[in-house]
Amino acid sequence: MALEIERKYRVANEEWKPLASAKKHIRQAYLADTEQISLRVRIKDATTATLTIKTATPGHTRQEFEYPIPLADAEELLQARTGSVVVKTRHIVPAGNLAWEIDVFEGENAGLVLAEIELEHADQPFEHPAWLGEEVTFDRRFYNSELARVPFSQWS
């Protein structure tokens, strides 16, 4: 069983930008999204693709299973999605032996910038940089699967 333990935050300012060491352009969509699981197809930099199954348990710990798939299959699966395609650029900001993933959303989710950090265990300490804003780990609106269903641009 693969566990994903992550914390998610809004980003308060752009002080993280000079610290970014890499970036990837991501397009992803959901083929299924139920109370139990989400099934996601993701294309990175138009060169690699994955199919991911995640449990839908709210919070910082979920099961996650990710498998590489052919790019052509991923492009085809995007057409079978529910909701919108979520488009973002993911920037990597090193933080000691961990790394922040800063997602700058585009399209219907433009204006939203989120930071995630994956941990080895739920109570693992980590640095909280000054550019980090409000924690949204437990707020389902900020899950990518929810952003595909109700994009940030439609929030009131």
Integer-rounded Cα Rg, in Å, for the chain is: 15
Looking at residue 123, what DSSP letter applies? T
Active site residue 67: no
Catalytic residue among 9, 30, 67, 143: 30
- The Cα–Cα gap between 95 and 89 comes to 19
Comparing C-alpha atoms, which of 26, 25, 5, 13 is closest to residue 144?
26
Instruction: Give the list of residues 6+ apart from residue 32 with CB closer than 8 angstroms, or none.
Output: 38, 39, 82
54 - beta bridge partners?
Answer: 38, 64
Measure the CA–CA gap between 69 and 92, rounded to whole angstroms: 23
> Which residues are designated catalytic?
30
